[in-house]
Structure 1
Amino acid sequence: MVENSIKILDKVHLQKYVYLLFLFTSKQMEASAFEDLFLQIRREDNYWLNGSFNERIEKILDTFFLDIDEYVPIDLYDPNDKFNINEEELRKRSKETLNTLKNILDNE
């Protein structure tokens, strides 16, 4: 019973990230607003910060958090800096993350 509850809690807590990723990838939100909101939600997400997600989901979210960290606005973007990404690349990675998370939600 506890294992099923954890999976249900993972799904519940993932919904906010899936929705936010959907808004961004469908171009209903600008990159700067997406970045700000994602970081605010993560900062306040004790479920994630306490390591409550299962290992697979946590790895996906942690990797995407690093993608957010690498994003820089176009006026600061340097294509020669391998440690930053532009809005187009952030949208691409967001779409990949969204698809992965939706697949997990739909199949588990």
Structure 2
Amino acid sequence: MLKHFIWDFDGTLFDTYPVLIDVFVDMLESEGQSVDRERVAELMAISAKTMYEAFAVSEAFITNYKQQKATIERERSGPFPGIHELLETLSASGATHHIVTHRGTSIHALL
């Protein structure tokens, strides 16, 4: 049996992408840009940097986006259904869990 599990955080353990996309789209639309939500999702799945470059957003926009998403995601993001039980079941059989993420310490508030 496998004993060590390495998990990605966003989109694997926690359902954060809908919130991240909503905030980004809302901000762009508030600036008058017409945005295809699916396109934002596709670019975000590659990387935040790719998304920022595709929409040519400023550093000020990125800073504001990060602040807004940090507040909203704590309220609206959570683990996928069944994740807690899965992790507990695996742990009970001796497994260890590790998380890989690009988000840094912002993961702590969600966990």
Task: State the TM-score, normalizing by the size of structure 2.
Answer: 0.32
Task: State the TM-score, normalizing by the size of structure 1.
Answer: 0.33
- Whichever structure has more strand as a proportion of its residues is 2
- Whichever structure has more helix as a proportion of its residues is 1
